[in-house]
Structure 1
Amino acid sequence: MSEITYYYSAHSAFAYLGSSRVMEMCATHGLTLVHRPIPLSPVVEAQGSLPFRARTQAHVDYFFGREIERWAAMRNVPVMSARPMHHDEDYTLASGMILALGDRGTQVDQMAHALLQAHWCDDLDLSDATALAVLARSLGHDSTKLLDAAQSASVKEQYQNNAKEALAADVFGSPTYVLNGESFYGQDRLEMVERAITTPFAATQWSNPPVD
């Protein structure tokens, strides 16, 4: 066991809330965090789940209200007091910036966290190339080169491959952490992930009938 595969979208509230924690866990236990940013809605819909635009107002209000506030307090991380104005903008370019740096390592960790934090604390528009360039420079990158790489054919292909890999791994939401082939969905499962690092859970005995 040497790595955690991390499926998430670059605009995910709960990926942000668990971002620092999962990176701390990897550092503590000597694990590599393997980044797999994905286009979330296509993956969710392909798995048969409802995208947020199709969910009830009560569900959306709860998700973007109390649940985020409570977990921000639990994780001791800052967060906006309202849903980001730019939350529905395309985040492909931001995802490409992560992918252009690779799938692991300090620079990738920093970029992923910075994008999530800027979106959920400062309402960063993840489709705004100018704003993304400023963020890239703040992390010490050549913003022109990085944005060019983020839009390259190879990065776009990797982004789609991540989506295919997520579907094959039965990922249906962000964030999902995979450790030794076992999936843990949601940042609220991070304590389970940490327990599994040292004491793996027993193999499941459940036998569920297929869903019609």
Structure 2
Amino acid sequence: MSNTTIYYMAPHSPWTYLGHGRFVAMARAAGVRIDLKPCDMGRVFAASGGLPLGKRSPQRQAYRLTELARWSAHLNLPLKLQPSFFPVPPDASARLIIAARTSLGGEAALELAGAIMHGLWADDKNIADDATLAHIASACGFDGAMLVKSSHTAGVLAEYEKNTDDALAANVFGAPWYVVDGEGFWGQDRLDFVERALARL
């Protein structure tokens, strides 16, 4: 068994946002390290048969909004159902999280990921904009300008591609996706099962 859990995530996913804090708290309570892997869900969807939101049927899009409202109320987490900047390209924010992990460590990256998702889903911010991302990172106490600059380096871009390759190899088809001792769990609504799996490590 491993004392590390893998966390495939997409910073523009409302479901990742809804589960992020609970998952991080669970892993910490279990003494398990999180291997955070922001990945390109566009590539994952293309390989696994998933459809981007705009191409889904009207009834699926409507039910998504119903479920988001339910979960937001249930978890008492603020969530703007239709943010001004959504759909939003996730690449810039994903790369910023990777840059934070590379230079500041996993805990800093998890904090930044939470702040970015809160920025989009609660504060109605444009997480595709470098200046906005720098401001979010700086509000966390990090050097936002430095992280944004780092997010454009070849090493960060390569890590983003590798994370996505790893996700495809692990048969990931959506976000969030948690892996505990080799077992995959899709969605924040599976966190009860994730917690039990973490307790067995």
Asked if Structure 1 and Structure 2 have the same fold, meaning a TM-score greater than 0.5 normalized by the shorter chain, the answer is: yes
Letter of the 2:199 partner, please give it. Answer: T
Q: Which residue is equivalent to 1:208?
A: none
> In the TM superposition, what whole-angstrom CA distance separates every residue of 1:132-191 from its partner, at most 9, and x where no partner exists?
111111111222211110111110111011111100000000000000110000000000
- 1:81-160 map, 5 Å: 82-102=81-101, 105-160=106-161
1:174, 1:185 within 8 Å by CA — same for their partners in 2?
A: yes
Determine the C-alpha separation between the residues in 1 that align with 2:23 and 2:74.
14
Q: Note the residue ranges of structure 2 that are not aligned, 5 or more in a row.
A: none
Determine the C-alpha separation between the residues in 1 that align with 2:75 and 2:38.
22
- 1:1-212 map, 5 Å: 1-63=2-64, 65-80=65-80, 82-102=81-101, 105-199=106-200
Letter of the 1:96 partner, please give it. Answer: R
Q: Note the residue ranges of structure 1 that are not aligned, 5 or more in a row.
A: 201-212
2:119, 2:127 within 8 Å by CA — same for their partners in 1?
A: no
Kindly state the Cα deviation for residue 75 of structure 1 after the two structures are TM-superposed: 2.0
Identity %: 33
Length, aligned pairs only: 198
* Structure with the larger helix share: 2
Determine the C-alpha separation between the residues in 1 that align with 2:96 and 2:28.
23
Kindly state the Cα deviation for residue 49 of structure 1 after the two structures are TM-superposed: 2.2
Letter of the 1:173 partner, please give it. Answer: G
My pick for the range that moved more, 100-109 or 83-92, is 100-109
Kindly state the Cα deviation for residue 77 of structure 1 after the two structures are TM-superposed: 1.4
Determine the C-alpha separation between the residues in 2 that align with 1:89 and 1:198.
36
